[in-house]
Amino acid sequence: MYSRRGDKGETDTPSGKRVTKDAPVIEWEGTLDELIAQIGYSKVQLPWEDMKNDLSQVQEDLFHLGEEILTSGNGRKLRAEGVSWMEGRISTYLKEIGEVKLFVIPGGSREATTLQLSRAVTRRAERRIVELSLSEKINPLGLQYMNRLSSLIFMMALAANKRNGIKEVLFPWPNPENPSKRPPSNRES
């Protein structure tokens, strides 16, 4: 389907504004679309129902967050308990995997690798929503949600390798050539 309205590099937002296709709100929308699709790809790679269910919930939350932002708060909204739900799921996966060490080199199983790719796209989507928050009013819950989401997906990737009996490969830190440098905090910001 096509309308030809975007042939000159402009598009309409759900709130009725006409903007260029490189506007921050469109960059956010496009990255969010990519993230939702990438999470869908990750979901179909997984044999575990708990992770599939978690990713389905995340996809629905992301659609709500997108609608909230694109309609300037006049549509469906991100559920208030989304961040606390994720924190609970992160704790569950952390109990399963045990101690987390920095820095994990993505790989191992197919399941973990696709989750690591979803995590990387999540981080880009987080950067886009922060960029958008500089020019548009964004519900702080959306910023918190995106920050926690990368942690959740990271924990799921580690759990996927553990469930497959695959040991994580770690990037050596501190640098063996300069061991006096302290590693960054083990907590994701």
pLDDT digits (tens, 9 = 90+) for 129-177: 999 999 889 999 999 999 999 999 999 999 999 999 999 998 887 777 7
Cβ neighbours, 10 Å, residue 65? 26
H/E stretch holding 19: strand 18-20
Who has greater pLDDT, 30 or 22?
30
User: Quick one: pLDDT at residue 13?
Assistant: 66
| Domains in the chain with CATH codes | 17-170 (1.20.1200.10)
Distance CA 55, CA 153 (A): 9
User: Quick one: pLDDT at residue 184?
Assistant: 59
With a cut of 60, say whether residue 14 has pLDDT above it: yes
At 86-112, the pLDDT tens digits run 999 999 999 999 988 778 999 999 999
H/E stretch holding 18: strand 18-20
Polymer length in residues for the chain? 189
Distance CA 113, CA 160 (A): 9
Q: Which residues pair with 11 in a beta bridge?
A: 19
